[in-house]
A = this chain, B = another copy of it.
Amino acid sequence: MTRDEELREERIDSELVYDGKIVHLEVDRVRLSNGHQTIREVIRHQGAVVMLAVDEKQRVLLVRQYRYPVGRILMELPAGKLDPGEEPLACARRELEEETGYAASSWRQLGSVWTTPGFTDEIIHVFLAGGLEPVEGASPDEDELLEAVRFPMPQVEEMIRRGEIQDAKTLAAILLWRLQGG
C-alpha cells in the first residue's frame, strides 16, 4: 500500500440527517486503512466566492455584517454563496454588486481555499476585482443587512494585526494577493 493509499478513508454508509437552506448534514461511517471504523460528520455546501475589490484610490471594499452564528458584527471582504450551477465568476460579479453596489471591469482569480475541511466541503473561490463603478439601482438582499466600508490596504493589514478583522477567508484572500505580487 502506498503512503497516500494508507491515508484514504472509505465510505461504508451515509445518512442525510438534515437538508436545509445552506447546510446539508451527512453522517457517514467510514473505514480507515488500518481497519478502524469511525464516524465523519460532513456539512455539504454549494461553495462560495470572496472578492478583494480595490477602488481607484487603492482602497479595499469591506462589509460589516452581523454574523448570527458568532453573535457579533464582523468586518470581512464581500462574499457570497454560489447558486446551483452558477459559475464562480458570475457569482462574484453578482455578490459584489449586491453587497457593495459596485461593478468591476477587471477580474482575476487568485485561488481557491477550503474553509474548514475537517467537517465541510465548502470551497471559496478568491477573486481580485478592479475598475470599480457604482451600479445604478443595485438591489441588496433583504435577508442580509450589511454596511459597506472601505480602507487602504495598509490599514486593513493593521486591523488584522490588531485582531479587528478575524475572518479566515479575508486573511486567506489577502495572503494570496500578497504572494501574487499585490
User: Which residues of A are at the interface with B, using a C-beta cutoff of 8 A?
Assistant: 3-4, 6-9, 17-18, 20-23, 25, 27-28, 30, 32-34, 36, 38-43, 45, 48, 64-71, 73-74, 76, 81, 111-124, 142-143, 145-147, 157, 160-161, 163, 166-169, 171-172, 174-176, 178-180
Contacts and interface: CB of A to CB of B under 8 A. Distances in A.
Given A23-B43, A115-B116, A176 B147 contact: no
A116 B112 contact: no
Contacts of A70: 114, 117, 121, 123
A113 B166 contact: yes
Given A117-B70, A171-B171, A21 B41 contact: yes
27 contacts: A4-B73, A7-B145, A17-B18, A17-B25, A18-B27, A18-B41, A20-B39, A22-B119, A30-B68, A34-B145, A40-B68, A40-B69, A42-B68, A42-B69, A43-B119, A69-B121, A70-B123, A76-B117, A112-B163, A115-B168, A116-B116, A116-B169, A123-B166, A124-B168, A160-B175, A160-B176, A172-B172
Contacts of A32: 143, 145
A20 B41 CA distance: 8
The secondary structure that dominates the A interface is mixed
Given A32-B145, A111-B160, A168-B168, 5 more contacts: A23-B119, A40-B69, A42-B68, A113-B168, A117-B167
B22 A25 contact: no
A138 B151 CA distance: 47
Contact of A9 (B48, B68, B124, B176): B68
Contact of A168 (B36, B65, B160, B169): B169
